Amino acid sequence: MTDEITRALSLSRRRMMALGLGALLAPAFDPRQALAQPVFADYPFQLGVAAGDPAPDGFVIWTRLAPDPLAVGHGMPARPVPVSWEVAEDEAFTRIAARGEAIARPELAHAVHVEVGGLSPARPYHYRFMAGAERSLAGRARTTPAAGASVARARFGVVGCQHYEQGHYTAHRRLAEEDELDFVFCYGDYIYEGRSARVWNSAAGPQGNPRQHVGQEIYSLDDYRRRYAQYKMDADLQASHAAAAWFVTWDDHEIDNNWATDLDQDGTDRALFRLRQQSAMQAYYEHMPLRRSAFPAGPGMRLYRRADYGTLLRLNLLDTRQYRSDQACGDRWGACDELERTADMLGAAQERFLFDSLSTSPTRWNAIAQQVMVMDLDRDTGPGYMANPDSWGGYRAPRARLLRHIRDRQVANPVVLTGDEHQNYAGELHLDGRNPEGRAIATEFVATSITSGGDGMDQQPQTAKIQAANPQLKFNNSQRGYLLCDVTAERWESAFRVIDQVSAPGGAVSTRARLATPHGEAVVVPA
């Protein structure tokens, strides 16, 4: 009887292995059991490489193996695969500073996040990956200065809102061509979640999309993975990632338009929407050069953090989606009593983190890098007052708390960096945006979109009226492009770099305006 039981168990085990269920009986995973020398049907590094979250001793390097990026399974076996990596002091990789091996796991769509350490501060490095006989393109990233180091200058780009369908990523190519950048800040809307569309209804009427999404609106993990893959296959975006390390955070379209906490704009059951958030957050982590500290836990991940550039600049990176109250006024532009309610934009923990970071900062400049406009602008061209409830203008209580804290604690040289608006803005922040009198508390520079909104125009028809109604607003432009910031001890200078067209590839870049905030003055002046 014992022999029969043994034979039955052995047969059962063989059947389970044949069905792909052997892992249930296998011991814990040993990296040596990974696919030893993979042979790929096509080039596996089609999504490029990226670096992120630089520190004085290193940064994160990222890639994802995807020989067939838009296919289910992305052309990879459902097995772990070893990926070698190198970081070098020179472009030719003759002076290797660090090397190692990571495991690309199927649970994370064969994405690789390596937190490289042991490097020297304030210097550029080059990195690349190898899998089997294949090699990735090389990327470049610069470590940050040592803590407390005297730093003369920081130079970086600000990007976001890159709707794939509404234009070509020429702005990313032009950013990659800029003189060496210390880093890039991406404020969000890296992808858009909507279904494929041949045309879209712009303010100027129906516009034909120069290219289209694959598939319907995205909900599942596979959907989000495919959408990221389509975006990351763009060569101009790959060039931008390869040129400098990025600090990334999200806005709304990485999950769903105008989401807040666990609410979407369609009134979906919260439990169901949390499932969508969980899928979206996993895919976001899989495709961004983020540290393990941002690893998602269900429908949540921590993205707020800070980075210092010696004694020159503190960068406070925020998440204005995950902890906010629902939008006021039914999320419709206008004015209502709800604008004055008790509400959260950052949530209690993140607000404490920001206030403490601002109060204890040892740096000359203090940047608040986030998503939605803090200037409380009157968007109406008529006699009434019109607020954008999705901006800080729709969250007046937390907006007032933030500005009072900056004022009362005498935070040194506060500058807000923003996106979301698909336009360039520059202006000054007052406690009461509707009556901007007296000395401003901080300044704000808003970067336009990479593509969202199509080609755009220099000035929209209502710009002059909005400018007249908002004296704190010093500049506005509606073209596509990016923001280039140059920070020294004496001033913060922002160059608004614009592209003449995104509806066709090869657009030309120019500087539409160059504005500055001098040290010790919360004003925006011509540079």
**Count: domains in the chain:** 3
* Encoded tokens for 518: 């001098």
Tokens 């030309």, located at residue? 508
Q: Which pLDDT does position 67 carry in this prediction?
A: 98
Q: Could you tell me if 172 and 267 lie in one domain?
A: yes
In sequence order, which residues have a C-beta less than 8 Å from that of residue 416 and are 6 or more positions away? 367, 368, 370, 374, 429, 442, 443, 444, 445
Tokens 């506060």, located at residue? 414
Q: Could you tell me if 409 and 461 lie in one domain?
A: yes
Q: Could you tell me if 172 and 130 lie in one domain?
A: no
What pTM was computed for the model?
0.93
Residue 209's nearest CA partner among 455, 500, 503 is 503
Q: Which pLDDT does position 379 carry in this prediction?
A: 85
Q: Could you tell me if 21 and 82 lie in one domain?
A: no
Tens digits of residue pLDDT in 87-119: 999 999 999 999 999 999 999 999 999 999 999
Q: Could you tell me if 136 and 160 lie in one domain?
A: no
In a domain, 42, yes or no: no
Q: Please indicate whether residue 386 or residue 352 has the higher confidence score (pLDDT).
A: 352
Q: Which CATH number belongs to the domain containing residue 112 in this structure?
A: 2.60.40.380
Tens digits of residue pLDDT in 53-73: 999 999 999 999 999 999 999
In a domain, 107, yes or no: yes
In sequence order, which residues have a C-beta less than 8 Å from that of residue 507 and are 6 or more positions away? 168, 170, 171, 499, 500, 501
In sequence order, which residues have a C-beta less than 8 Å from that of residue 283 and are 6 or more positions away? 109, 221, 224, 225, 227, 228
In sequence order, which residues have a C-beta less than 8 Å from that of residue 361 and are 6 or more positions away? 314, 411, 412
Q: Could you tell me if 57 and 19 lie in one domain?
A: no
Tens digits of residue pLDDT in 80-93: 999 999 999 999 99
In a domain, 384, yes or no: yes
Tens digits of residue pLDDT in 308-343: 999 999 999 999 999 999 999 999 998 899 999 999
Q: Could you tell me if 293 and 394 lie in one domain?
A: yes
Q: At what angle do helices 221-232 and 270-287 cross, to 10 degrees?
A: 40
In a domain, 389, yes or no: yes
In sequence order, which residues have a C-beta less than 8 Å from that of residue 403 and are 6 or more positions away? 429, 430, 431, 441, 442
In a domain, 39, yes or no: no
Q: Is the pLDDT of residue 226 over 70?
A: yes
CA 87-92-95 angle, to 5 degrees, is 55
In a domain, 428, yes or no: yes
Q: Could you tell me if 383 and 492 lie in one domain?
A: yes
Q: Is the pLDDT of residue 5 over 70?
A: no
Q: Which pLDDT does position 23 carry in this prediction?
A: 33
In a domain, 41, yes or no: no
Domain of 176? 156-526
Q: Could you tell me if 89 and 216 lie in one domain?
A: no
Q: Could you tell me if 110 and 169 lie in one domain?
A: no
Q: Is the pLDDT of residue 292 over 70?
A: yes
CA atoms within 13 A on the CB side of 503: 12
In a domain, 150, yes or no: no
Q: Which CATH number belongs to the domain containing residue 183 in this structure?
A: 3.60.21.70
Amino acid letter at 28?
A
Q: Could you tell me if 138 and 160 lie in one domain?
A: no
Query: For residues 270-294, b (16+ Cβ closer than 10 Å) or e, as one string?
Result: eeebbbbbbbbbbbbbbbbbbeeeb
Q: Could you tell me if 182 and 113 lie in one domain?
A: no
Q: Is the pLDDT of residue 40 over 60?
A: yes
